[in-house]
């Protein structure tokens, strides 16, 4: 098989985005445009207790079914449960309300139902053969950007490890981002989500350039590599996190700050689903699976070490990140500011704080190194030993 240097990059975005305080009230109008008579809502017990799901259902004309048993780390076994509910109810439209876990659960369910495939067979790139049906995503946290991404991450019940499905068919047809829905988000979850959004944007900004990725004749890759439009998404997302993250944790009712973080998460999702993510996410997957810590916590622990590792080939870009975050254009200042944000948010600063033991590090590095789709997006050559060094630094 021959390889060819790429000269063209692609960009993808939602078909439609509604953004602003009170935009949830437009849900009925959006659903109506699909002429839907039956709507299935995916969410979780917390949002049900807050009355958000009842409010959403009242906006919809037609019959609704509310699945409110979503979990922080949904598994393929839970996807199977939702498949049965979906097949029984037969919705015309699916609405996912909540954080990334609820949205990813809905994505995986719709993909499995439409394809007739087992959830585990959807993992990897482009394993979804056709459209998954109308999906509307409504985030209530500002982190994953799943409402704008072409991916879904759940636990594989067969081995207990996080796995990702990657396909343009997973990108929701409509995203409704109402910052008012985040006003009740607790400070800890706000912080974890915000660091997640920051990691998405930084990794997309530092990813290998699109023209340095080789492309097999058989087809495209899951991610494009860094390109100019991705830079615009990533830069704005980083600036917004620097301006608003701490404020949202200290003054949760500040709607302007909530809107800023909501936009940061969406732009971060657009940045990474176009350009990709790399070493921090590769390391976080085994960390999150093994120690049951959130995606944001795991990313936040390893991100400074990853940035230091990439300095040899990304010094100027890391320095610019410092400026985006409101400090000087210096790589040292950029890394220190990421650490400061993490610590001011009250998040763990090392692997031992989430239960890791030093003897665990080699197996974590090995698992991360096996994620080739993320390794190839690193702008610097990386070995399993290099990943182990980053983990030791983060311990």
Residue 9 lies in a domain: no
Please indicate, yes or no, whether residues 282 and 158 belong to a single structural domain of this protein: no
Please indicate, yes or no, whether residues 380 and 232 belong to a single structural domain of this protein: yes
**Pairing relationship of beta strands 135-139 and 151-156 according to DSSP bridges:** unpaired
Q: Give me the CATH number covering residue 26.
A: 3.40.50.1970
pLDDT at 2 over 50: no
Please indicate, yes or no, whether residues 209 and 96 belong to a single structural domain of this protein: no
Please indicate, yes or no, whether residues 66 and 122 belong to a single structural domain of this protein: yes
Please indicate, yes or no, whether residues 144 and 103 belong to a single structural domain of this protein: yes
Indicate the number of domains in the chain: 2
Please indicate, yes or no, whether residues 92 and 202 belong to a single structural domain of this protein: no
Please indicate, yes or no, whether residues 174 and 239 belong to a single structural domain of this protein: no
Interatomic CA distance for residues 210 and 377, integer angstroms: 9
Burial category of 252 from C-beta neighbours within 10 Å (exposed 0-12, middle 13-18, buried 19 and up): middle
| Residue 219: per-residue pLDDT | 53
Interatomic CA distance for residues 141 and 258, integer angstroms: 9
**Host domain of residue 152:** 16-182
Please indicate, yes or no, whether residues 94 and 221 belong to a single structural domain of this protein: no
Q: Where among 157, 182, 207 does a domain terminate?
A: 182
Residue 1 lies in a domain: no
| Residue 216: per-residue pLDDT | 42
Residue 48 lies in a domain: yes
Interatomic CA distance for residues 73 and 151, integer angstroms: 15
203 and 272 in contact (C-beta within 8 Å)? yes
pLDDT at 166 over 70: yes
- What is the number of alpha carbons within 13 Å of residue 160 lying toward its C-beta? 7
**Pairing relationship of beta strands 214-216 and 3-5 according to DSSP bridges:** antiparallel
pLDDT class for 309, splitting at 50, 70, 90? very high
pLDDT tens per residue across span 196-234: 999 999 999 999 999 888 654 345 677 889 999 999 999
Residues 44-56 have a mean pLDDT of: 96
Please indicate, yes or no, whether residues 257 and 115 belong to a single structural domain of this protein: no
Other CB atoms within 10 A of residue 219 CB: 8
Please indicate, yes or no, whether residues 172 and 197 belong to a single structural domain of this protein: no
Q: Where among 182, 205, 220 does a domain terminate?
A: 182
Q: Give me the CATH number covering residue 273.
A: 1.20.1090.10
Please indicate, yes or no, whether residues 305 and 381 belong to a single structural domain of this protein: yes
pLDDT tens per residue across span 90-141: 999 999 999 999 999 999 999 999 999 999 999 999 999 999 999 999 999 9
What is the pTM for the complete model shown? 0.93
Please indicate, yes or no, whether residues 234 and 103 belong to a single structural domain of this protein: no
Q: Where among 156, 182, 208 does a domain terminate?
A: 182
């Amino acid at each position: 098989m021959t390889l060819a240097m790429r000269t063209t990059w692609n960009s993808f975005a939602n078909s439609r985005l509604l953004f602003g305080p009170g935009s949830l009230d437009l849900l009925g109008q959006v659903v109506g445009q699909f002429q839907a008579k039956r709507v299935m809502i995916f969410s979780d017990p917390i949002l049900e207790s807050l009355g958000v799901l009842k409010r959403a259902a009242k906006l919809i004309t037609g019959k609704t079914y509310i699945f409110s048993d979503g979990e922080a780390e949904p598994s393929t076994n839970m996807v199977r449960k939702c498949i049965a509910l979906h097949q029984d109810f037969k919705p015309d439209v699916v609405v996912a309300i909540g954080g990334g876990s609820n949205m990813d659960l809905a994505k995986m369910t719709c993909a499995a139902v439409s394809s007739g495939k087992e959830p585990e067979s959807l993992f990897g790139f482009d394993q979804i053969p056709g459209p998954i049906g109308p999906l509307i995503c409504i985030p209530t946290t500002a982190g994953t950007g799943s409402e704008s991404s072409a991916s879904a991450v759940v636990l594989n019940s067969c081995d207990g490890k996080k796995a990702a499905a990657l396909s343009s068919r997973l990108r929701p047809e409509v995203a409704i981002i109402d910052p008012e829905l985040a006003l009740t988000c607790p400070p800890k979850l706000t912080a974890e989500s915000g660091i997640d959004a920051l990691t998405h944007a930084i990794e997309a900004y530092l990813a290998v350039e699109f023209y340095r990725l080789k492309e097999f004749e058989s087809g495209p890759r899951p991610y494009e590599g860094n390109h100019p439009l991705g830079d615009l998404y990533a830069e704005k997302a980083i600036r917004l996190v620097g301006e608003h993250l701490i404020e949202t944790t200290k003054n949760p009712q500040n709607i302007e700050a909530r809107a800023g973080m909501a936009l940061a998460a969406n732009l971060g999702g657009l940045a990474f689903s176009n350009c990709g993510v790399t070493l921090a996410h590769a390391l976080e997957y085994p960390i999150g699976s093994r120690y049951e810590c959130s995606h944001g916590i795991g990313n936040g622990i390893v991100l400074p070490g990853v940035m230091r590792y990439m300095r040899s080939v990304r010094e100027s870009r890391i320095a610019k990140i410092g400026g985006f975050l409101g400090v000087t254009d210096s790589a040292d200042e950029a890394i220190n500011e990421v650490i400061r944000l993490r610590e001011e948010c009250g998040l763990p600063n090392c692997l031992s704080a989430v239960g890791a033991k030093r003897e665990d590090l080699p197996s974590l590095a090995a698992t991360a190194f096996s994620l080739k789709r993320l390794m190839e997006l690193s702008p610097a050559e990386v070995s399993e030993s290099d990943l182990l060094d980053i983990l030791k630094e983060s311990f």
